[in-house]
């Protein structure tokens, strides 16, 4: 596997990254990128200024993963968005390698921490599909993973749960916020 910059001139990789978004988010977040056009727009946006866009390529130079970073807070903090690994290649260390690569990219640009949001749109955690108000933090403290929600992957990568936005993607569909200091 090789990790490299995704560039606008590599139209094949851009198209593969877009297709990966549609495929990988179809089951648990179908409204995220429901069409190739919406996914292409996301990929094109990731190539703009103040962004990091890196792809993992297999031996045949096919895109098997993609990670993006968005500069925030004057470059001291970056948002990880998105992270996607082809479903057939999950659990093989590609996501881990992409996150570590993003951390190195952020450090080289003077960043000190990374944050992300990871939605629960279909009840994959104990805080999905329930009313979180008014005791939001009590629910968050007791969060449990019910169906392989990615927040536990990020915890293994050193990220901490730092908050939640109830109903971010609709009633009972919270966005779980996580962050990590890298410097």
Domains of the chain: 1-111 (3.40.630.30), 113-183 (3.40.630.30)
Record the pTM: 0.96
In this predicted model, what pLDDT tens digit does every residue of 26-59 receive, in sequence order?
988 888 999 999 999 999 999 999 999 999 999 9
Cα 63 from chain centroid (whole Å): 16
pLDDT at 28: 86
- Measured distance CA(164)–CA(174) in Å, rounded: 7
Which pLDDT value is given to residue 101? 98
In terms of C-beta distances under 8 Å and separation of at least 24 residues, what long-range contacts does 25-30 make, across chains too? 25/84, 28/121, 28/122, 28/124, 29/119, 29/121, 29/122, 29/169, 30/121
CB 80 within 8 A of CB 68: yes
* Per-residue pLDDT reduced to its tens digit, 54-109: 999 999 999 999 999 999 999 999 999 999 999 999 999 999 999 999 999 999 99
The continuous run of DSSP H or E covering 177 comes out as strand 175-181
Count of C-beta atoms within a 10 Å radius of residue 3: 19
Helix (H) or strand (E) holding 82: strand 77-85
Mean pLDDT score, 2-13: 98
Q: How many residues does the chain have?
A: 183
For residues 115 and 118, give the distance between their C-alpha atoms in angstroms, rounded to a whole number.
Answer: 10
């Amino acid at each position: 596997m090789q990790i490299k910059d995704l560039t606008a001139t590599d139209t094949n990789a851009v198209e593969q990254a877009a297709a990966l978004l549609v495929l990988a988010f179809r089951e648990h977040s179908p409204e995220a990128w429901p069409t190739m056009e919406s996914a292409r727009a996301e990929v094109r946006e990731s190539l703009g200024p103040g962004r990091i866009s890196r792809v993992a390529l297999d031996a045949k130079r096919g895109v098997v993963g993609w990670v993006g970073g968005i500069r925030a807070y004057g470059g001291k903090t970056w948002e990880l968005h998105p992270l996607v690994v082809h479903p057939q290649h999950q659990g093989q260390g590609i996501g881990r390698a992409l996150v570590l690569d993003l951390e190195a990219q952020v450090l080289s640009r003077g960043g000190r921490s990374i944050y992300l949001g990871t939605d629960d749109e279909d009840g994959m955690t104990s805080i999905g599909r329930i009313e979180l108000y008014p005791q939001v933090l009590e629910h968050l403290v007791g969060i449990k993973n019910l169906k392989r929600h990615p927040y536990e992957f990020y915890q293994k990568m050193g990220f901490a749960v730092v908050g939640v936005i109830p109903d971010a993607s609709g009633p009972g569909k919270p966005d779980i916020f996580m962050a990590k200091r890298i410097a």
